[in-house]
Amino acid sequence: MTWPIRLLSARNRLDVVAGLVDGILNALTLAAGRLLKGGGADLSLVARVGAATALTTLFVFFMAHYAEERAELTRAERELNLTSHGKLATSRLGRRAVAEALSGAVIAAMCGLVGATVSLLLCIWLPGPRWVGPIADIALLGVLGALLAKSFHGSVLFWTLAVMISGAVLTLVGIQLDIAS
C-alpha cells in the first residue's frame, strides 16, 4: 500500500484530522492578533507557526500514542498472567509500540504543519479586508468537520458548526492574546 493511500486509511483518521484541525486552530490562535490588528501574515510567520505546530503536535501525539501502546502491552501481560511486568515492553513488541507511536505522531505533525501553512497562506493570498483570511480558515474548518461527520455517519450540520464555532472562539482568543505581533 502506498503512503498516500495508507495516510487516508481509517487507522490514521485521528492523526490526519486532528493534525489538520490542530494546525488551523494553532494558526488562528497564534496569528489572529497580527492578522486582524495589522501587520498581516508573511512567509516568516507561516514558517514560525508551522514549525511550532508541527513540533508540539509531534510531541503530544507521540506521548499519547505511546501511552496507549504501552497500556495495550500491560493489558496483554495481565491477560497472559505473566508474573513479571514490563517484559513485553522490552521485547520486539515494545520496539514496535515505539515505532507505531512515532509513525502516528509524524503523520499528525505533518498534517498539523499542512493545516497551519495552508491556513496562513490563505490569509496572504486572499484579496480584500484583513478578516477575509481568518473567515476562510473558519470555513475550511467547517469543511473538515463535514468530511469527518460523513466518514462516521454523524450529523454534518452539527460537526460543521461545532468545528467552525471552535475556530471562531479560538480566533477571538488569539486576537486578545496577540502572540505573533
Residue range 25-84, pLDDT digits in tens: 999 999 999 988 877 889 999 999 999 999 999 999 999 999 998 888 888 777 777 666
Q: What is the mean pLDDT of residues 121-128?
A: 90
Looking at residue 83, its pLDDT comes to 67
pLDDT at 77: 76
CA atoms 28, 33, 35, 36: torsion sign = positive
pTM of the model: 0.86
- What local confidence, expressed as pLDDT, does residue 109 receive? 97
Number of C-beta neighbours around residue 161 at 10 A: 14
Output the nine-digit C-alpha cell for 51: 514549525
Per-residue confidence (pLDDT) for residue 88, from 0 to 100: 66
Q: What is the pLDDT of residue 119?
A: 95
Calculate what percentage of the chain has a pLDDT beyond 90.
Answer: 61
**pLDDT score recorded for residue 21:** 94
8 A C-beta contact, residue 172 and residue 131: no
